[in-house]
Chain A
Amino acid sequence: MAAILTIDKLRAGYGPIDALHDVSLTVEAGEIVAMIGANGAGKTSTLMSVSGVLKARAGSIRFQGQDIAKLPAHQIVKLGLAQSPEGRKIFPRLTVLENLQMGAFTRNDAPGIAADIEKAFAMFPILKERRGQAGGLLSGGQQQMLAIARALMARPKLLMLDEPSLGLAPQIVVQIFDVIKDLNKAGMSILLVEQNARMALRVAHRGYVLETGRVTMSDAADKLLVDPRVRAAYLGE
């Protein structure tokens, strides 16, 4: 399998402080890769750097062989890299339908966009029901569905999900993770950031553990699930 995303010795941060120190990570095509770690470990910063919102200070980010570390955010989406961000970041005063249309902002094929909106509605029927409502009026779980559906509207080759289970009821979390598995079965490569390490490592093929801006462990997901250090630090055992 070929690597779709290769991050090599990435350094990035805010103001005078580096949040990431030499983070290296690979996502192979067709894989789900989980990134786990505590609050402030640098998971979100890594995704934001890949998306071009946080500028890389050193290192390289290669997407399908192309170095994207210096590209502006709006060009990165066009290459096929979409993100469902932490906290969902739904446009609160745009309707559900308009939120989805924004996800397809870089595309010009109106019929394709219309077809993908129908696909999104088939995946999450509740969004179809509430298509005319303001995004800010949805419940947390519905907003998470909308955030994922919105990211998919870009027709990404790699989907990045930041904390999709955050603040959601357990049965909704199960539903969201089922969708993640289905997407992957259909061929989507996924980079998944989660604090819910158990859920993440169960669906993922491989996992990385981040601590204070550094990758401290990386292995097959099933191995991480039984690793004593991971169990002690992230699985609460």
Chain B
Amino acid sequence: MLPILFAEAFNWTNLQQQCITGLTSGALIALIALGYTMVYGIVELINFAHGDLFMLGSCLALTIFTAFGLAQPGAIDSASNVTILLAIACCLVAVPIFCAGLNRSVDYVVYRPLRTAPRLAPLVSAIGVSFIFMNIGLFWVGPQDVNFPDVIQDRNLLGDDANLRFTLKNLLVVGVTVPLMIALTVFVKFTSLGKAMRATAQNPTAARLMGINTEFVIGTTFLVGGALAGFGSVVYALYVNTISYQMGFQNGLYAFTAAVLGGIGNIPGAVLGGLVIGLVQALGTAYIGATWTSAIVFAVLIVILVFRPSGLLGARVREKV
């Protein structure tokens, strides 16, 4: 047993392969983590419903694929590429809009009235919203795991006889997540609304004194975070090909962990945290065993937080009072 383990551990190609897998799922986790971290940054609320929002996005994606007639067994083989591309495009437009709108509405109806209430009140409400979402998901797709149409070929883009595999699916994940993260960074760093978002996160009272409509900014944050979860949910469904009403819990938990790991409230931190967790997941599964994956991920979280309590990139600038 031990020699096999070692042989595996020093297999360079295998390590590289695990890194590709890890970074791919890490990019997905990061996309969800951004929604946690942005909302926390601006209203100091851990939005526990965020993972379930992501789940509902996948449910809508499935409904859209069903509407295009792609969900029945064997339908994909007979479907034209145009139909498939159209269905994907439709998902990438409709699902983010749906998730953004839903997230914004929940903020307006549930969290906004509690803005000045003690911190625990919106937190418990978020847990409540999480359960409501999960039950909607249960009603929507049923209690079992549901196959999501496997429309993207698993062809190796590095050539059929290459040792490493980087498939069209990996490319899809990277091709959607990376531009979104770049767009978000540009938005937050350079646009007037993005700067207002950072200002509101750093000092809401001062932001109001600048003439910033902070409620509008908070609403926009929920919109953006929701849209990112929406994009993530479509890509996840196409990548993993299984969805269930419970998927929001585990993915949300990993994403939340990523946000804390990177330094909650910090946008590059969420991306870094997501990638680290994806890597730890993949390497842990490959070298230690899938049974231990969650344990390893959270052990890493604990170790990092012991040495850097504010996360990898958290609180770089100390405030002078």
Task: Find out whether the CB atom of A87 lies under 8 angstroms from the CB atom of B210.
Answer: no
Among A74-82, A176-184, A213-221, the stretch in contact with B: A74-82
Closest to A82 in B: B209
Chain B contact patch, size range: 20 to 34
Closest to A51 in B: B209
Q: Inside 8 A of B209's CB, which chain A residues have their CB?
A: 51, 53, 73, 77, 82-83, 85, 89, 151
Q: Inside 8 A of B208's CB, which chain A residues have their CB?
A: 51-53, 73-74
Task: Find out whether the CB atom of A89 lies under 8 angstroms from the CB atom of B320.
Answer: no
Among B9-17, B99-107, B193-201, B293-301, the stretch in contact with A: B193-201
Task: Find out whether the CB atom of B205 lies under 8 angstroms from the CB atom of A89.
Answer: yes
Q: Specify which of B198, B318, B320 is in contact with A140 (CB 8 Å cutoff).
A: B320
Task: Find out whether the CB atom of B198 lies under 8 angstroms from the CB atom of A154.
Answer: no
Q: Specify which of A73, A89, A101 is in contact with B203 (CB 8 Å cutoff).
A: A89
CB-contacts of B211-233 with A (<8 A): 211-214
Instruction: Please measure, in the bound complex, the distance between the C-alpha atom of A82 and the C-alpha atom of B205, giving whole angstroms.
Output: 13
Instruction: Please measure, in the bound complex, the distance between the C-alpha atom of A82 and the C-alpha atom of B202, giving whole angstroms.
Output: 19
Q: Inside 8 A of A106's CB, which chain B residues have their CB?
A: 210-211
Among A130-138, A196-204, A228-236, the stretch in contact with B: A130-138
| Interface flag for A91 (CB, 8 Å) | yes
Given A85-B206, A91-B203, A91-B206: A102 touches B212 (CB 8 Å cut-off): yes
How many A-B residue pairs lie within 8 Å, measured between CB atoms?
84
Given A74-B211, A83-B209, A102-B210: A91 touches B199 (CB 8 Å cut-off): yes
How far is the CB of B213 from the nearest CB of chain A, in Å?
4
| Interface flag for A40 (CB, 8 Å) | no
Closest to B196 in A: A105
Q: Inside 8 A of B206's CB, which chain A residues have their CB?
A: 85, 89-91
How far is the CB of A104 from the nearest CB of chain B, in Å?
8
Q: Specify which of B195, B213, B318, B321 is in contact with A101 (CB 8 Å cutoff).
A: B195
Best-buried of A85, A140, A151 by chain B (most CB within 10 Å): A85
Best-buried of A83, A89, A94, A102 by chain B (most CB within 10 Å): A102
Task: Find out whether the CB atom of B211 lies under 8 angstroms from the CB atom of A154.
Answer: yes
How far is the CB of B181 from the nearest CB of chain A, in Å?
19
Chain A contact patch, size range: 35 or more
Task: Find out whether the CB atom of A136 lies under 8 angstroms from the CB atom of B196.
Answer: no
Q: Inside 8 A of B182's CB, which chain A residues have their CB?
A: none
Task: Find out whether the CB atom of A73 lies under 8 angstroms from the CB atom of B320.
Answer: no
Q: Inside 8 A of B213's CB, which chain A residues have their CB?
A: 72, 74
| Interface flag for A11 (CB, 8 Å) | no
Q: Specify which of B198, B205, B210, B318 is in contact with A136 (CB 8 Å cutoff).
A: B318
Given A77-B209, A103-B210: A91 touches B198 (CB 8 Å cut-off): yes
Instruction: Please measure, in the bound complex, the distance between the C-alpha atom of A52 and the C-alpha atom of B213, giving whole angstroms.
Output: 12
How far is the CB of A227 from the nearest CB of chain B, in Å?
33
How far is the CB of B192 from the nearest CB of chain A, in Å?
7
Best-buried of A53, A72, A105 by chain B (most CB within 10 Å): A105
Given A91-B203, A94-B199, A102-B199: A143 touches B210 (CB 8 Å cut-off): no
| Interface flag for A187 (CB, 8 Å) | no
Task: Find out whether the CB atom of A150 lies under 8 angstroms from the CB atom of B210.
Answer: yes
| Interface flag for B319 (CB, 8 Å) | yes
Best-buried of B205, B211, B213 by chain A (most CB within 10 Å): B211
| Interface flag for B317 (CB, 8 Å) | yes
How far is the CB of B229 from the nearest CB of chain A, in Å?
25
CB-contacts of B307-321 with A (<8 A): 316-321
Task: Find out whether the CB atom of A134 lies under 8 angstroms from the CB atom of B317.
Answer: yes
Instruction: Please measure, in the bound complex, the distance between the C-alpha atom of A72 and the C-alpha atom of B206, giving whole angstroms.
Output: 14
Instruction: Please measure, in the bound complex, the distance between the C-alpha atom of A82 and the C-alpha atom of B213, giving whole angstroms.
Output: 15
How far is the CB of A107 from the nearest CB of chain B, in Å?
9
Closest to B266 in A: A93
What are the 3 A-B residue pairs with the smallest beta carbon separation, nearest first?
A77-B211, A89-B206, A106-B211
Residues of A within 8 A of B (CB): 51-53, 72-78, 82-83, 85, 87, 89-94, 98, 101-103, 105-106, 134, 136-140, 143, 150-151, 154
Subset of 24 A-B contacts with CB under 8 Å: A51-B209, A53-B208, A73-B209, A74-B213, A77-B209, A77-B210, A83-B209, A85-B206, A89-B203, A91-B202, A91-B207, A92-B202, A92-B320, A94-B198, A102-B196, A102-B199, A105-B210, A105-B211, A105-B212, A106-B210, A138-B320, A143-B320, A151-B209, A154-B211
Residues of B within 8 A of A (CB): 192, 195-196, 198-199, 202-203, 205-214, 316-321
Known A52-B208, A91-B206; further 9 A-B contacts with Cβ < 8 A: A77-B210, A89-B205, A89-B206, A91-B199, A93-B316, A105-B192, A106-B211, A134-B317, A136-B317
